[in-house]
Structure formats: structure tokens, C-alpha cells
Amino acid sequence: MQLEPYALHGVPIHFTTADAGIAARLRRQWAPFCGEGEGQPLRVHLQAVAEMPASPALPPPEMPASLVISQGPTVHYHVQGMQVSAFFPRWGRFDIDLAAATVTGKMTATGLPLYGLFEDMILIALAPLLRRRGCYTLHAFAAELAGGDALASAAVLFIGDVGAGKTTSGLSLLAAGARLIANDSPLLRFSPDGGVEVCAYPGLISAYADSLAWFPQLAGVLAGAEQRSGSAKYSFGVEDIWPDRWQMTAKPGLLLFPQVTPGLSASELQPLARFAALQRLVGQSMEDWDRATLPAHLRSLRLLVEAAPAYILHLAPDVQRLPGLARAALTAAARPNSPKSPLPR
């Protein structure tokens, strides 16, 4: 069956599947992005299988240069010309045709219920095609926050690895009235003024019960939220709690790299040099196998750190204080003589 058409910043995305469970998961995640796009659609066909698909075949020994293999902790990429296979040991395989803009995915039925796995595999499969449409993924929580002193709103990004405190920090902004851009993977796109903008990507918000307990507005989430196999996190849509809270695009305002700091009584910001921020962003955004897109991708990250100051956010238990801390940093950054650490050229 073909699902309703979706559009991601003008890029049409068409999903097809014969599996009712896959269709339900896609509709739940992508509902806020239902609509028609323009141009050639990205076509994604998904199938649930009982057994793990085979790993992509290796080329003959006399042709080693024809294949690039990039291995990470959760996914292996096999690249031959315009054909890419993203192989997830135990969970699935996605064959991506960069020229035709198609994805054919096989996912094990046992892996589908696992927390975050389905959404991560879809994003990883779409990412190479999105890069070729000028959209670059970044592992972060992003929300648009109104600045102090009547400043225009801007995107605040919490960037880091799993467990760094991104979601709890992001929830604190949403509870204070911020608008959601992405819970885990905002997109970067070049803007008409020569800069870069932060763009929305669909996804449910997932948080532990103790994180939800910080926010009175989320008191009823535990009763209605989904809890996926293999995780103690609860998942819900931002529209379930705060209607009309999606923000599709925003200018960059603040880059925060959170880290939980035991013994700290009050959260604090430690300025981070732009080159150091760029180094951290590369590890949370770029994939070394996709060499054709690396120059433009790196340029988007450079423009991001040039547009927004970066800080290490040392997290204490005072999560309700984070919106004020972020607004103060946005206000300081907007001052005409705010200090800047230039990137080396």
C-alpha cells in the first residue's frame, strides 16, 4: 500500500509497505509533515521479514577500489558507484539507489518494536538522499526559543551523544513555550541570505519517567505514551501535549553541548571556541563514506558555528532554570560587540 504523501522542506517522500505495523509507525511519526512536495520524490519501500537479510556481497578481489565499506557500531555501509547498502547486523538492510532516489528496506519483525531502532534506520536510509537535496542531518534536540529584550526567536540546539541530557534540556525549553524543530535530528540547509537555517525533522519525543517528572505539564504523559520494547523511555508526540508547536525552520541562535556534572548545584555555560565546536559537530553529523557531499556538508557546519555561539552546558538538577540561561545567552550573542572566535581559514 502507498501511504499518504509527505513533504520534508519541499522534498516529496513517498512510502510504500504491505505491513500494517510499519504503516502505523510511519503515520505516527510523519503525520505533521503530510503534504505534497515538488520535484522527484524520494521513494521508500519497506518490508518486514522473518529472517535477517544477507549482508551485501563483496566484489571480486581484483576490484577492491570499486567498493567502499564504512563500519560503525550499529551500521555498515557498502558503497559501489551510486548503489549504497546500509546493513544493520541483526535488524535489517536498506539498499539505496542515489541516482534513482529510491530506498528498498527489509527489517526484521523482531527489531521493529525496539525503541528508536525503526526511526533511526529510516533516517539513516534517507540521509544520503537528503544530502543530495541540500539537507544535512545533525544529532541534536532543536527548539526555537524567543530571545530576551524583545529579540527575535532563534534555534537552540542541544548536541551530543546518547545520555548527555539533550532531551531533558529540550523539554525544559518546550515547557517554557519554545517550539519543537526536532527531537533528535534537525536538518541544516543553506538559506537564501548565504547562511544556514535549522529545519525540522519528524519524530516522537522520548524521555525517562524521572525526566518527565520535572515538568508538571507532562504529568499525564505516562498514561498515554508509548513504551517500546528494550527501553524504559516513554514516547509521545509534541502535539499530544502542546498543539501547534512544530517550527519548520529557524535561524541558528545557540549551540549547547550538554554534559551532566555531578555535584553541581546550578547549571552553567562554559564558552566553547568555534573551531572546537566545529570538531564536535563533525562527529555528530558527517559520514566519511559519502565523499561527494562532504565539502557542502562541512560548509553547512562552518556556517552554523559562525552564526551561533557555542557553549558546554554543565547540567545540574535545576532544569527549570535552563530556559532563562538560554535566553540570557541569546541576548548576549545579539549585542553588537559580542566576542567571536574566528575559524581558521
pLDDT tens, 274-313? Answer: 999 999 999 999 999 999 999 999 999 999 999 999 999 9
Which is nearest to 56 in space by CA: 88, 22, 101? 88
Q: Residue 215's pLDDT is what?
A: 87
Cβ atoms of 123 and 168 within 8 Å: the answer is no
Q: Residue 148's pLDDT is what?
A: 61
Q: Residue 106's pLDDT is what?
A: 95
Cβ atoms of 199 and 249 within 8 Å: the answer is yes
- Domain 137-334 CATH superfamily: P-loop containing nucleotide triphosphate hydrolases (3.40.50.300)
Residue ranges covered by each domain of the chain: 6-133, 137-334
Q: Residue 64's pLDDT is what?
A: 43
pTM of the model: 0.90
| Cα 308 to Cα 254: distance, rounded to the nearest angstrom | 5
What secondary structure does DSSP assign to 59-92, as a single string? PPTT-GGG-EEEE-SS-EEEEETTEEEEEETTTE
Q: Residue 306's pLDDT is what?
A: 97
Q: Residue 334's pLDDT is what?
A: 80
Q: Residue 146's pLDDT is what?
A: 86
Q: What is the pLDDT along the chain (345 residues), one digit of tens a residue?
A: 899 999 999 999 999 999 999 999 999 999 999 999 999 999 999 999 988 777 776 444 443 444 566 655 588 899 999 999 999 988 899 999 999 999 999 999 888 877 678 899 999 999 999 999 999 999 999 999 987 655 679 999 999 987 788 999 999 999 999 999 999 999 999 999 999 999 999 999 888 888 888 888 887 776 666 666 556 778 888 998 898 999 999 999 999 999 988 889 999 999 999 999 999 999 999 999 999 999 999 999 999 999 999 999 999 999 899 999 999 999 888 876 655 555 544
Q: Residue 212's pLDDT is what?
A: 84
Greatest alpha-carbon span in the chain: 66
Q: What is the CA radius of gyration of the chain?
A: 20
Cell of 232: 524504559
Q: Residue 61's pLDDT is what?
A: 43
Residue 235's alpha-carbon distances to 102, 115, 208, 219, in angstroms, are: 29, 9, 9, 14
The answer for residues whose C-beta is within 8 angstroms of residue 243's C-beta and 6 or more apart is: none
Q: Residue 22's pLDDT is what?
A: 94
Q: Residue 336's pLDDT is what?
A: 64
Q: Residue 228's pLDDT is what?
A: 61
Q: Residue 28's pLDDT is what?
A: 92
Can you list the positions of beta strands (E) in 101-251?
Answer: 102-108, 136-137, 140-145, 154-159, 179-182, 187-190, 196-199, 205-207, 234-236, 249-250
pLDDT per residue over 57-72, tens digit each? Answer: 644 444 344 456 665 5
